[in-house]
Amino acid sequence: MGASALFSNTTGFGNTALGIGALFGNVTGSNNTAVGAGALHNNTDGIGNTAVGLNAGLNQTTGSNNIYIGDSGVPGESNVIAIGAVASSGTAYTDCFIGAVHDSIETDQAVFVGVGGHLGTAVSSQRYKDDVQPMGDKSQALFSLKPVTFRYKKEIDPSQRLSFGLIAEQVAAISPDLVSRDRNGQPRSVRYEAVNAMLLNEFLKEHKRVQSLEATVARQQKSMEELTAQLKEQAAQLQKVSAQLELNRAKPQSVAGR
């Protein structure tokens, strides 16, 4: 519906086009939904794409299973969800707001993806926890981790800037609970929030050791001061005895002289 909507379609089926030029270049692509002028305009044989908004998915050509909401997309990409156009400057137009995030809170907090793909925020309240135990020596696994520098592959980060972190497979071999896994059970990412908690535990243990050492040093310092005072007192007594001996040696000489 709309001027030039599905204009080039030949054998494509199951498509829905609403808006001027929506799915204009589609030839054999099927099961696409384009709502908005120019939506999926250049799609030719992509399958299962959904685009909503003016020129949404405009750059998409052969990719499949993408969802575009107000974003023009990238030619040939697949399995992408893109929301909002990317502006060239840091203005308010680059903001993205998503409502109804599970357990949204009043102050800023990082969003995580749950096991079932559910967006949410990490909770720390005791109301949500069972089997709470002191961490103890479990944090010592940190000392076996091997921090590395690396660059993500170009398909992930085109700039390939230098990054710092850990390798999930290496971490899993040391402490399986410190990694998140994909649907096939393979290590995917490191639970850095857990690493931070373990670092805090080791810091507190080290802080306690330092306090104990400081107390020991203070006691030793006090003992040394007391010993120094005793030595000074003994030295003073020795000086008195020495002086008395000198005086006693001098008296007989005086008598002999007479």
Residues 187, 170: Cα–Cα separation, whole Å: 9
Instruction: Find out whether 50 and 67 touch, Cβ atoms under 8 Å.
Output: yes
Residues 128, 125: Cα–Cα separation, whole Å: 6
- In this prediction, residue 111 carries a pLDDT of 76
Within 10 angstroms of residue 38's Cβ, the number of other Cβ atoms is: 22
- In this prediction, residue 103 carries a pLDDT of 59
Domain ranges of the chain: 1-97, 98-131, 133-258
Instruction: Find out whether 164 and 147 touch, Cβ atoms under 8 Å.
Output: yes
Q: What is the mean pLDDT of each run of 10 residues along the chain (258 residues)?
A: 90 94 94 95 94 93 92 88 63 54 64 72 85 94 96 90 96 95 91 94 96 95 94 92 83 54
- In this prediction, residue 107 carries a pLDDT of 67
Q: Which CATH architecture has domain 133-258?
A: Orthogonal Bundle (1.10)
- In this prediction, residue 248 carries a pLDDT of 81
Instruction: Find out whether 7 and 1 touch, Cβ atoms under 8 Å.
Output: no
- In this prediction, residue 102 carries a pLDDT of 60
Q: Which residue has the tokens 């995917």?
A: 188
Q: Which has the closest alpha carbon to 170: 153, 157, 192, 187? A: 187
